[in-house]
Amino acid sequence: MAKKKNEQLQLDLEQTRERIIEADFVETMRKNYLDYSMSVIVSRAVPDVRDGLKPVQRRILYDMSELGTASDKPYRKSARIVGDTMGKYHPHGDSSIYGAMTVMAQDFKGNVPLVDGHGNFGSIEGDGAAAMRYTEARLTRFTEDVYLEGLKEDTIDLIPNFDATENEASVLPCKLPMALINGSEGIAVGMTTSIPPHNLRETIDAALYFEQHRGASTEELLEILKGPDFPTGGVVANREELADIYETGEGRIRIRGKVEIEKMKGGKSALVITEIPYTMVGQGIEKFLLDVASLVESKILTQISDISNQSSREGIRLVLELKHGADEDAERIKNILYKKTKLEDTFPVSNLVISDGKPAIMSLKDMLDAFWNFQYEVTTRRTRHLLGKARARAEVVDGLILAVDVIDTIIAVLRGSSNVAQAKKCLMTGNTEGINIKTKIARSQAEKFRFSEAQATAILEMRLSKLIGLEIKALMSEQKELKKKIDHLELMLSDDGVMFKSIADELLRIRDTYGTDRKTLITTEAPAQIEVVEEPETEVVVLMDRFAYVHSIDAAVYEKNKEACDTEFKSVIHTTNRSKVVAFTDTGHMYSIKTSEIPAGKLRDKGQPLDNISGYDSRSENLVGLFPVSGEGHLVFITTDGLAKAVPFSEFDISRKISDATKLKEGARVLSVFVFNEKAQVILHTAAGFFARLDQAEITPKLRNTMGAILITLNDGDELDMAVPVSGASSPFEYGGKEYSADRIKLLKRKTKGVKARL
């Protein structure tokens, strides 16, 4: 029994080994990641150059056409459309589908909305759309005309959906280069697409010119297609760089909002922003207003007295009211807004599209070439489909006309046949066997019948009303029209010039029907420059309270209130309005701060938190010192591990906003920073209760990027928790909330362990 079990176990082990596939881990990860990346790029994030749509957008439009949500039909609930799309074509969650449908309904995201939304579909200021159960939608007339017409005429391939239960469109038979007209944005794996929108009328004109002048340069095309045309309007300020951007398919477009100066009541003026940069769509408007308010508070824009958002359904209107007389400085104010806010921004261009199933960055000419290749393909397939239908109908009409001439014989055959199949066989082959035809003449004529199957079927289904004279004339007229149509379709397939004219006529019809005037101004303007008006250098005093709130006052005000300032404030720093101060934290960082960035105020003003001005993180580091910038002398650094050093002030790089002030051992922090004075002393205290008083001359001078030397020797687990500079033995110092004389602490030498003292 045991032997059989062992044999079975051995057999199972061998079978298991046969199922194990050995693979290189790195190679497997690389292949799987590449497969995933390509899936995201091709199937989700990047538009197809042929119809300018991402898969989710294409599936929504295709599903809406299948649902019958036409532009002349009632709106359907968005939830119905989203659910149907998700269940049939796009099993990636309802939020992504509804988000894509919302964008296609917003006229501020694309030049031509593809979905007609009914209800709250969001706003240009960043308000989100209502839940899908509340909103409704249907197709726009433009979408039906440009994207869906010809969908049932074998113009594109249908492919199985994700579970092979439905067919979906591999691409829509789009008649326009919509990747250019509506643009596209998407983030894939390792690459992004960012195509700016363009004017429909200009794009069609450029496409027609390109097909007729294949050797045209990018500069020639830009004479027609001026550049981006954003739905929000605004100004493109770097026209001289556009040729290179459209030649390579990559670059950065500098865009600005449109600012006008308006006169107001009372003699005041206002800067009114009526068009915003495309990049400001969404929360950008609110952030812009907050940025302007911040510039006013920091006294960079002192000429603005009021800020208001007066935007409505009629358009954007952001009003910055100016103080009396400030309109003379309007250009400088505009330049500050361009420089300091998102009123001037850059739009990154990356014409990344899917072409022949692969991602590719395309130039303007590449995209127009792909457009025409697709148009010829779609038009050829449609022409062949229509030609097949016309020929089939012509065959039937020819048969009906011929049948009218021998209708008496056909009636005789029908009356004498025992069933439809027998009569149909006679019509197709002339076989009269078994058919009771009363006259020899009729039988002789019937034996000559050679109608096709389609003709025979049509004859058998023909109504007697077709024998009326007018009906016969209609058939003959239809026969004539069908011959013209067949000749034209055959000519289109054989002559590229005729096909081009057919496509061009359709493009011109669409241009005249849906074309709009350009919204965005294309110009050349230098980047905004702020003329620096330096204030005269004056002496100021920076005050910091025990809560690390800082503000500055005039030196004369300090002199009048010197005693109160020295008593009430933790730090009193004498400097100038053009100088800097430096802040040190216990993590060993130094923060350089312009004095002009510190709010000026009155003596009793609260000021602003130093961490807000300097940028240090008060949650993870603590302030240990604030000092004026000086090129002379040394600063003393004492750390919690008992090390100390004196660093020359010239060692610190005050040009950087943040830099390392000292090197620290792991786990150590800076305890105290103060100005070195070899005639003064320092009092130390450890967490274990040891005191020491040392001459500052004992502190070793060192460079900034080194650790300090041992100042006091600590027992294991002990650390310094106080390091206070004093001017001499009789100087007071504070400990435990009380004040003591320095001579209460024994004067010791460097590397001492300290002494226990009762205070």
pLDDT digits (tens, 9 = 90+) for 695-708: 999 999 999 999 99
**pLDDT beyond 60 at 169:** yes
pLDDT at 328: 79
**Which residue is associated with the tokens 């865009």?**
255
Residue with the larger pLDDT of the pair 470 and 308: 308
The H or E element spanning position 614 is: helix 610-614
Q: What is the mean pLDDT of residues 182-186?
A: 92
The answer to whether the CB of 62 falls within 8 A of the CB of 172 is yes
Q: Is the pLDDT of residue 710 over 70?
A: yes
Token pair of 165, please? 């239960």
The dihedral of CA 385, 387, 392, 396: what is its sign? positive
Q: What is the pLDDT of residue 57?
A: 96
Give strand pairing partners of 343.
none
The answer, yes or no, to whether residue 543 has pLDDT greater than 70, is yes
Q: How much is the pLDDT for 535?
A: 66
Nearest CA-CA partner of 257 in 307, 317, 332, 182: 317
Q: How far, in Å, CA of 398 to CA of 393, rounded?
A: 9
DSSP 653-673: -TTSSEEE-----TT--EEEE
The mean pLDDT of 489-498, rounded to a whole number, is 94
User: Per-residue pLDDT for 186 more than 60?
Assistant: yes
What tokens does 179 get? 């990747």
With cut-offs at 50, 70 and 90, classify the pLDDT of residue 189: low
pTM: 0.71
pLDDT above 90 (res 647):
yes
pLDDT given at position 349: 96
Residue 454: pLDDT band (50, 70, 90) is: very high
Confidence class of residue 168 from pLDDT cuts 50, 70 and 90? very high
Dihedral of the alpha carbons of 697, 701, 707, 708, in degrees to the nearest 10: -10
Catalytic residues: 134
The two tokens of residue 717 are: 């687990």
Q: What is the arithmetic mean of pLDDT over 572-589?
A: 92
Average pLDDT, the chain: 90
Q: What mean pLDDT comes out for the span 502-518?
A: 96
**pLDDT tens digit sequence for 61-79:** 999 999 999 999 999 999 9
Asked whether 204 and 212 are in contact (CB, 8 A), the reply is no
Identify the band that residue 281 occupies on the pLDDT scale cut at 50, 70 and 90.
very high
For the chain, helix, strand, coil in percent to 5 are 40, 25, 35
Per-residue pLDDT, 5:
65
Question: For 436-450, what is each residue's pLDDT tens digit?
Answer: 888 888 898 989 999
How far is residue 220's CA from residue 216's CA, in Å, rounded to a whole number?
6
- Mean pLDDT value across residues 266-282: 91
Tens digit of each residue's pLDDT (9 = 90 or more) over 8-60: 667 666 666 666 667 776 676 766 655 555 555 555 689 999 999 999 999 99
- What is the predicted pLDDT for the residue at 1? 57
Q: E-strand spans in 530-588?
A: 539-544, 549-554, 571-576, 580-585
pLDDT band for 527, please (50, 70, 90 cuts): confident
Identify the pLDDT of residue 537. 83
Dihedral class, residue 281 (left if φ above 0, else alpha if ψ from -120 to 50, else beta): beta
Looking at the DSSP bridge assignments, the partners of residue 647 are 635
Kindly state the average pLDDT of the residues 117-128. Answer: 93
For residue 427, the model assigns a pLDDT of 93
* Residues 6 or more apart in contact with residue 85 via CB below 8 angstroms: 59, 60, 63, 97
What does the pLDDT read at residue 264? 85
> In one letter, which amino acid is 603?
L
Question: How many other C-beta atoms can be found within 10 angstroms of the C-beta atom of residue 496?
Answer: 10
CA-based nearest residue to 591, from 610, 572, 576? 610
Q: What is the pLDDT of residue 596?
A: 85
The span from the first CA to the last CA of the chain, in angstroms, equals 89
